[in-house]
Structure 1
Amino acid sequence: MPKAKTTLLSSFNKRLDLVKPSAIRAFDNEVSEIPNILKLTLGEPDFDVPDHIKAAAIQSIEGNDSHYAASNGTLALRQAVTNFLNNRYGLQYDAESEVIVTVGATEAIYSVLTSLLNSGDKVLLPSPIFPLYIPVTLVGGGEPVFVDTSSNNFVLSPEMLKQAIREHGDSIKAIVLNFPSNPTGVTYSEAEVKALADILRDTSIVVISDEIYSELTYETTHVSMAKYLPEQTILLNGVSKSHAMTGYRIGFLAGPAEVVKKLGLIHQFTVTTVTNSSMAAATEALNTEAGREDTLIMKKQYKERRDFVFDTMTSLGFAIPKPAGAFYIFAKIPEKFEQDDTKFARDLAQKNQLAVVPGSSFGPGGEGYVRLSYAASMSKLQDAMNRLTKYMNESKR
């Protein structure tokens, strides 16, 4: 086994010293060692990919579709993306010049921030937030600026946004809006989207609108930030959550042609292009009535699971903003328990073999909360709630 030459260890990008390993993954790895552990830690849909989508991937492979596709993705998939965005959200994009197919929404996040940031640029992050944005901002030379939204039911208010702009001024390069939200499941109403857009329109701030959970909204209809602010919004989405295709690694971004042309440089030099068979599968998912029906079937079951977990945990004393989308519960630990969320989650895992994620993993405003994913079977969730009930009844401060 080779051992790195000592001097090599000082050769890396110094910004990597600012980055810590994913707290979510680290905690998940830690509790995975516990026998009989039941994990509700990761946002991984439990559904299988529908057969007609798998068939499209198989057909691509058997048809020897094995050569480089266009860097921005096959035209067929980009057209499917523009049709999807138009039909579902009333958005108008040109498939040839305003869409890039990415290796999951994760690569889209990396490509956008790496393209945008210069040293010292600030990125507004309404928190709690999906943690990936933090290290990518740091490695890109930017500075994350957290706006704690916990006092407003985890929604960024116009007043909060105005205050952040007053405080940080022209050094703000971008703002990230993730809705429906990971980790809270909270989303924005049309009025709330419009109010933020009206403020941002008078700035040069780029809006990175991560709408990967847009198809998984329950009582409300998703409204994209690009509806009101298309000229400065970079829209991120994909099929990982809507069609349980996390392993296929298909995301996409859309925006003004001049912006997308710039983003395409980092994308091209990072991944060249996305896997052909995965793009064929995603085209089937987005372009067919069957693909639409797949999402509706999954969403119906997610809603039933949400209601069951929400009702059970509320009865146990957890304060929870009822999720309007995605598949997460973000629950405040009852006051009779110690408020250290990492200790709470670790104790729950060790004593009752139930794993949830400490809320502090998601930035300011997450302290004293835990996140769990209900992207699991109802039988698994019933077992989880039985374990949680037992723990809550037997444990106190």
Structure 2
Amino acid sequence: MKNPLSEKIVNIAPSGIRKFFDIVTEMEDAISLGVGEPDFDTPWFIRDEGIYSLEQGRTFYTSNAGLKELKEEICRYLKRRMNLTYDPNKETIVTVGGSEAIDIGLRCVLNPGDEVLIPQPSFVSYLPCTVMADGVPVPIELKEENQFKLTRADLEAHLSPKSKVLILPFPNNPTGAIMTREDLADIVDLIIEHDLIVMTDEIYAELSYHGDHVSIAEFPGMKERTILINGFSKAYAMTGWRLGYACGPANIIEQMIKLHQFAIMCAPTTSQYAAVEALKSGDEEVAKMREAYDQRRRFLIHEFREMNLKCFEPFGAFYIFPCIKEFGMTSDEFATRFLQEEKVAVVPGTAFGDCGEGYLRISYAYSLENLKCAIGRLRTFIERLRAEQSR
């Protein structure tokens, strides 16, 4: 065969998250702090609803856009939590995780050469999904001195006549940064002035430790230009159920449903029935999990301060992003040595963009017991590195 592969796909680098996870699975007594997956089981009442749907023989396709009951619950949830009003029939689609929503959302709004503004460090899928949609990714480096927030000045500096989409990845993976109402208000007029479409990824909306999460779609003039993406993986510990959703302008959602129809057909039926129950009855369980994550977050912040490892305080998601520049190693070198010498897997910051160099992503979606053991090993490792430097 003559060149059977797509050059566009071949040239996309694989995710930098999986490398260390794959190694640690083969290593005895190793601890992984690398994967962003809740360590909680899906709450029983949600699992029970999924089981009941199977017992009732609800194993057929749903409509392409999703179960009517689920779309209605999604809209009720957004109204209750963020005072956003969406039409479940025309402005809502249920997808296979938030990741599918990102993919088809970008493919439905981009034409070849359109620029997508991507604040980084951020989730690994934004840039390759942009490339696969024939868009041009324009990374915006988020700076630690700004608490890894997107500032007006940084956004303005990257705008061009080809700018079409701004991705807002807050609460942020990997930094844990959030954007407050005041932070978002500072960029709204710029977005409207330059006629940008906003894709706001709010998968960690329920995991905010500094007041309630705020969506940019809440601001006047923004709902009609915003694709809001969310899902059930993080807040409800439903990663393996593979369920997400998007809400947005009817003309965009209509095209997303068409693409979803041809590529996927519909999201998993059992997962959709379980998700209805999650939205109806899950607030208390979400609050319990959030409290546990916050306890772990505060533990890690205290430990990093005790070992004098530079790290700003994250207020969202379940990641912390310490700086390791003092050791004169790349993020990959540090993570590799740490895994080899202390059997703990973390993710190099460069997995989330070049500007993540000099940082590590540590997930605290793990038990406090595991975190205490891993941090003890990190303390030993850092002491060894500092001793090496002082020789």
Question: Does the alignment reach a TM-score above 0.5?
Answer: yes
Structure 2 unmatched runs, 5+: none
1:197 and 2:188 are equivalent in the alignment: yes
Alignment of 1:214-253 (within 5 A): 214-228=205-219, 229-253=222-246
Please give the alpha-carbon distance, in whole angstroms, between the structure 2 residues aligned to 1:30 and 1:135.
24
Residue in 1 that maps onto 2:113: 120
Contact 1:359–1:367 (CA under 8 A) maintained in structure 2: yes
1:223-252 CA-to-partner distances (Å, cap 9, x unmatched) read 001101101000000111000000001100
1:17-38 CA-to-partner distances (Å, cap 9, x unmatched) read 3201111112322343333210
1:389 and 2:379 are equivalent in the alignment: yes
Residue in 2 that maps onto 1:174: 165
Residue in 2 that maps onto 1:14: 7
Of 346, 364, 377, the residue aligned with 1:374 is 364
Q: Structure 2 length as normaliser, TM-score?
A: 0.96
1:109 and 2:99 are equivalent in the alignment: no
- CA RMSD after TM alignment: 1.2
1:185-234 CA-to-partner distances (Å, cap 9, x unmatched) read 11001011111222101122110000000001112211001101101000
Shift in Å, 1:103: 0.3
Residue in 2 that maps onto 1:45: 38
Q: Which amino acid aligns with 2:112?
A: S
Of 162, 183, 190, the residue aligned with 2:156 is 162
Please give the alpha-carbon distance, in whole angstroms, between the structure 2 residues aligned to 1:394 and 1:159.
40
Contact 2:109–2:252 (CA under 8 A) maintained in structure 1: no
Residue in 2 that maps onto 1:3: none
Please give the alpha-carbon distance, in whole angstroms, between the structure 2 residues aligned to 1:27 and 1:390.
20
Please give the alpha-carbon distance, in whole angstroms, between the structure 1 residues aligned to 2:56 and 2:24.
43
1:93-127 CA-to-partner distances (Å, cap 9, x unmatched) read 01111100000001111111111222211111111
Alignment of 1:14-33 (within 5 A): 14-33=7-26
Give % identity.
Answer: 37
Contact 2:24–2:31 (CA under 8 A) maintained in structure 1: no
Secondary structure at the counterpart of residue 164 of structure 2: strand
Residue in 1 that maps onto 2:122: 129
Shift in Å, 1:12: 2.8
Matched positions, count: 384
Please give the alpha-carbon distance, in whole angstroms, between the structure 2 residues aligned to 1:89 and 1:339.
43
Residue in 2 that maps onto 1:345: 335
Residue in 2 that maps onto 1:152: 146
Please give the alpha-carbon distance, in whole angstroms, between the structure 1 residues aligned to 2:153 and 2:298.
32
Please give the alpha-carbon distance, in whole angstroms, between the structure 2 residues aligned to 1:12 and 1:115.
24
Shift in Å, 1:334: 5.3
Shift in Å, 1:14: 2.4
Of 56, 60, 66, the residue aligned with 1:63 is 56
Q: Which amino acid aligns with 1:371?
A: R
Please give the alpha-carbon distance, in whole angstroms, between the structure 2 residues aligned to 1:33 and 1:395.
26
1:315 and 2:306 are equivalent in the alignment: yes
Secondary structure at the counterpart of residue 144 of structure 1: strand
Please give the alpha-carbon distance, in whole angstroms, between the structure 2 residues aligned to 1:294 and 1:194.
31
Of 279, 299, 302, the residue aligned with 2:293 is 302
Alignment of 1:272-291 (within 5 A): 272-288=265-281, 291=282
Contact 2:325–2:359 (CA under 8 A) maintained in structure 1: no
Secondary structure at the counterpart of residue 186 of structure 2: helix
Q: Which amino acid aligns with 2:75?
A: T
Structure 1 unmatched runs, 5+: 1-5
Shift in Å, 1:57: 0.3
Residue in 2 that maps onto 1:142: 135
Q: Which amino acid aligns with 2:167?
A: V
Q: Structure 1 length as normaliser, TM-score?
A: 0.94
Secondary structure at the counterpart of residue 123 of structure 1: strand
Shift in Å, 1:71: 0.4
Please give the alpha-carbon distance, in whole angstroms, between the structure 2 residues aligned to 1:356 and 1:333.
12
Q: Which amino acid aligns with 2:197?
A: V
Of 201, 216, 233, the residue aligned with 1:210 is 201
Contact 2:108–2:252 (CA under 8 A) maintained in structure 1: no
Please give the alpha-carbon distance, in whole angstroms, between the structure 1 residues aligned to 2:60 and 2:27.
45
Please give the alpha-carbon distance, in whole angstroms, between the structure 1 residues aligned to 2:255 and 2:157.
30
Shift in Å, 1:340: 0.9
Please give the alpha-carbon distance, in whole angstroms, between the structure 2 residues aligned to 1:194 and 1:323.
20
